[in-house]
Amino acid sequence: MKVFDRSLKALHRGRIVKHPEDCKFYYYDLGIYNLIQRLNSIQGKQFQNVCFIGPYAHLFVNDIFPRNFIGMQGLTIVDLSSESLNYSLQKIKEMKTGIRVVGLKQDEESWTFPKDYFNLIVNNFQINWLNQVHSTAARWLESLAPDGALLGTAIGGDSLQELRICLSLAEQERDGGISTHVSPMLELTDIGNILNRLEYKLVTSSADANMLYFDDMFALMTFLQNIGENNAIHNRRLRVSQDVFVAASAIYSSLFTEKTGKYEGKVKATFDLAHYIAWKEHDSQQKPLKPGTRGVDIRTLANEIEDEDMVQATIMEDTHGKVDVQFLKKGKNTQIKP
Sheet holding 332-336, edge to edge: 311-317, 323-329, 332-336
Q: How far apart are alpha carbons 53 and 108 in whole angstroms?
A: 8
CB burial string 252-285: b at 16+ within 10 A, e below: beeebeeeeeeeeebbbbbbbbbbbbbbbeeeee
Mind listing the pLDDT tens digit for each residue in 293-336?
666 565 565 565 555 554 554 445 555 555 454 444 444 444 33
Mind listing the pLDDT tens digit for each residue in 273-297?
999 999 999 888 877 666 666 665 6
**Tell me, what's the pLDDT at 303?**
62
Gyration radius from the chain CA atoms: 26
**Tell me, what's the pLDDT at 316?**
52
**Tell me, what's the pLDDT at 308?**
53
Q: How far apart are alpha carbons 262 and 285 in whole angstroms?
A: 47
Q: How far apart are alpha carbons 188 and 317 in whole angstroms?
A: 42
**Whether 90 contacts 19, CB under 8 Å:** no
**Whether 182 contacts 160, CB under 8 Å:** yes
**Whether 148 contacts 280, CB under 8 Å:** yes
**Tell me, what's the pLDDT at 262?**
94
**Tell me, what's the pLDDT at 284?**
81
**Whether 220 contacts 190, CB under 8 Å:** no
Give the strand pairing for 201-214 and 267-279: antiparallel
**Tell me, what's the pLDDT at 332?**
40
**Tell me, what's the pLDDT at 306?**
56
**Tell me, what's the pLDDT at 240?**
77
Q: Does this model's pTM top 0.85?
A: no
Q: What is the mean pLDDT of each run of 10 residues along the chain (338 residues)?
A: 87 95 96 94 92 97 94 96 96 94 95 96 94 95 97 91 93 71 76 94 92 96 95 74 91 96 95 94 76 60 55 51 47 39
